[in-house]
Amino acid sequence: MTETRYGKGQYIFREGDPTEYFHIVKEGSVKCVKSSLDGKECTLKVLMPGDLFCCDASAFDGASHPGTAQPMGDVSVLRMKKDAYFKMLRANPDAAMEVIRYLGNRLNEAQEKAKVLALDRADQRLASLLISLAERSGVPEPNGIRVSVRLTRQDMANMVGVTTETAIRIMARFKKARLVSGTAARLVIRDLPQLRLLAST
Amino acid sequence: MTETRYGKGQYIFREGDPTEYFHIVKEGSVKCVKSSLDGKECTLKVLMPGDLFCCDASAFDGASHPGTAQPMGDVSVLRMKKDAYFKMLRANPDAAMEVIRYLGNRLNEAQEKAKVLALDRADQRLASLLISLAERSGVPEPNGIRVSVRLTRQDMANMVGVTTETAIRIMARFKKARLVSGTAARLVIRDLPQLRLLAST
DNA sequence: AATAAAACATGACAATTGTCATGTTTTGAG
DNA sequence: CTCAAAACATGACAATTGTCATGTTTTATT
């Protein structure tokens, strides 16, 4: 299990690269991204410390990475050679069970995301995103919940499948309605209940 | 491991039901569905013989089912009490590894689906669906590939996050362009290469 | 074979979201 | 602190998709 550090502009691995390592996020956040042929990008998930990645099937079949893993700022990642990882899992039922649980949670999450993308309007999808940001990386503050991950409007757009302009416009509306305040450097959720209402309306 | 049969109009379990069993599809197909508060439905996946479900995290935390499992026609399902299933996995590293591989594949699939929903137009999403139907349940025929699962336009609409009308219109276009023929009872993919092209255009 | 229900179909129109263009503000590197 | 790059912002317009209404065809059941 070796520790590796990555910084801005680097990649942990890219879509299509051969799968060699199992990874755990130690410090910082990591973006999982897929892109289409015409350059459009979609952010599938932001991994936080403790999150596993490439703990799964792509690692098995000698296949290649189905997406790109990109550090958001400076990150530190623990990794282990594929073979050693599998050996470890076989020898250690507790670890294997933990990975099964983790993958199951990730699968549920991914399917919930698919549902939101399939059924909700852009503003609802953004509201859902803000809610989960508040829950997963929120820091309580006097006048709301600060999101500790730095996300530009473009990042948010890529996370909910809309254009940057649409994300900007909707966030501007949210700001006007006092549901949120600030931008990437300091995004604060000010009215979580109202956002929840909007997400399910 | 007991076998259970289900028929039209029944449910294997519904969203919110407590998780009690681990399941395997033995015969027939099973729809995994989520619905929103206002009645809109989204089909996450069609399970085929050999597919596992509830092999995952929801089964752990004593949580409830995140979605509904609905038989498509007559199906036969093998199931095992949660506790026995976990005991079996712990005692059997091969089985545990197999579940890890399976969940990983499902996760990749779900994320690919999310990407398509986030980035592609309705016609591209439908083309992608038809491609994967051809690959996963296609039966070669003199003039194309027959889809062995019976799917109405409404089913397809629910699978790609569009309205029934939109699915009907796009399928009509596909039919006119000789990419497909027939309806639910006998859907045939006639020009897979062209569909692939369309899906990634 | 009759018949009700479901599936398929199509038009007119509305709502949502994307595209492109342009300008302002904020951020970060030197 | 300066300055370029990135992020944020907004308008005008186009494209996509949804909504509602209505009608035909197919399917399944008695």
Mean pLDDT of A127-139: 97
Residue-level pLDDT at A146: 97
pTM: 0.96
Q: How many angstroms is C1' of C25 away from CA of A167?
A: 17
Distance from CA of A147 to the nearest CA of B (A): 23
Is the CB of A110 less than 8 angstroms away from the CB of B115?
A: no
pLDDT band at B56 (very low <50, low <70, confident <90, very high): confident
pLDDT band at A157 (very low <50, low <70, confident <90, very high): very high
Protein-proximal nucleotides of chain C (any atom < 7 Å from a CB): 6-12, 16-21, 26-29
Is the pLDDT reported for residue A62 higher than 90?
A: no
Q: B77 forms bridges with which residues in the sheet?
A: B4, B25
Question: Measured from the CB, is A166 under 7 Å from any atom of strand C?
Answer: yes
What interface predicted TM-score (ipTM) does this complex get? 0.95
pLDDT band at A55 (very low <50, low <70, confident <90, very high): confident
Residue-level pLDDT at B51: 97
Is the pLDDT reported for residue B115 higher than 80?
A: yes
Distance from CA of B141 to the nearest CA of A (A): 31
Q: A159 forms bridges with which residues in the sheet?
A: none
Protein-proximal nucleotides of chain D (any atom < 7 Å from a CB): 6-12, 16-21, 26-29
Residue-level pLDDT at B58: 73
Q: What's A114-128 look like in SS3?
A: HHHHHHCCHHHHHHH
Residue-level pLDDT at B132: 97
DSSP letter string, chain B: -EEEEE-TT--SB-TTPBP-EEEEEEEEEEEEEEE-TTS-EEEEEEE-TT-EES-SHHHHTT-B-SSEEEEEEEEEEEEEEHHHHHHHHHH-HHHHHHHHHHHHHHHHHHHHHHHHHHH--HHHHHHHHHHHHHHHHEEEETTEEEE-S---HHHHHHHHT--HHHHHHHHHHHHHTTSEE--GGG-EE--HHHHHHHHT-
Q: Give the model confidence (pLDDT) of B150-187 as tens digits.
A: 999 999 999 999 999 999 999 999 999 999 999 999 99
Is the pLDDT reported for residue A78 higher than 90?
A: yes
Reduced to 3 states (helix: H, G, I; strand: E, B; else coil), residue A58 is helix
Q: Report the share of chain B in percent with pLDDT over 90.
A: 92
